[in-house]
Amino acid sequence: MALFHALFSTAALAHEYWIEPLKHHVTLGEKVLANLKNGENFQGISLPRIPEDLVTVSLHHRNGSRELAGRLGDFPALHYTPKHPGWQIVALQTKPKDLSYEKPGKFSAFITTHGLQEFSSQHPDLNDDAIVVEETYTRYAKTLLYVSSDDAASASASQNESTSAGELLWSKQDFKLEWVLVQRPARPAESASLALQLLFNGEPLASRQAEVFSKSGNTVKRTLQLTDESGQIEVALTPNVRYLINAVKAERSDSSQARINTDWASFTVQVNP
């Protein structure tokens, strides 16, 4: 197991980590297959399932939730057969990993890329390139899927789910940092906008940078948004384009040492024509 794990240790040092289903829209009874991706700018490698790297992997929908079991080496890493139609979220939390910023300019580039200038100004000692900043980071990843049904009654029920906050509680997993649905998206066959809220310890996180990546074929575009006073953003969705929404929160773990903790939240979605 140690050798198998070491093959992917270098890739795991990249912060961005997301769930990428082979299909975001499946039919009831059809197996969902999804890769765990690690890289930068919505480009990366697919990782096999390594249970010792994961705290939890779970499926959530309006009918309930359940853990998604798997074995070492599963590739794609995630797979399950839906039992209910409608919108569903697969969510996971990784175990913490450590990273050292040893090269001059590396930490300042990290701060700039992820909009952490306010954090940096609060801890000016970390801006010295002579200091090696040690980071412990944890990732929280979610993906949104739609399961359609050939049964008219079930399909009608899933399409008419309430958009009230109470009916969307299944999209909240009590992660330290997470994206949750503000309202149910339009059906996958439609162009839509996706309203998300960023929560930190269960509370809205305002004025936090959200990186919104869109991928069409091999072309990736990156745009930035700031969460509003309620921690919300809205992302316009175009059919057949994959989206990754990413955010990070940094905290000083020890004021006497150059050590920080970061939490990363990712959310992937795609609507189909």
**In sequence order, which residues have a C-beta less than 8 Å from that of residue 188 and are 6 or more positions away?**
24, 25, 146, 148, 271, 272
What's residue 166's pLDDT?
Answer: 58
DSSP string for residues in 252-267: EEETTTTEEEEEEEEE
Whether 137 and 259 have beta carbons less than 8 Å apart is answered as: no
Strands (DSSP E) contained in 54-189 are 54-61, 64-67, 78-80, 86-94, 97-101, 133-148, 177-181
What's residue 19's pLDDT?
Answer: 98
Mean pLDDT in order along the chain per 10 residues (273 residues) = 45 78 94 96 95 97 94 96 94 96 92 95 93 96 92 49 64 96 71 89 98 95 97 93 97 93 97 75
What's residue 168's pLDDT?
Answer: 84
Number of residues written out for the chain = 273
Which residue matches tokens 């994206």?
179
CA distance 158 to 85: 6
User: For the chain, which residues make up each domain, given as ranges?
Assistant: 2-270
What's residue 5's pLDDT?
Answer: 47
CA distance 74 to 58: 16
Which pTM was predicted? Answer: 0.90
What's residue 17's pLDDT?
Answer: 96
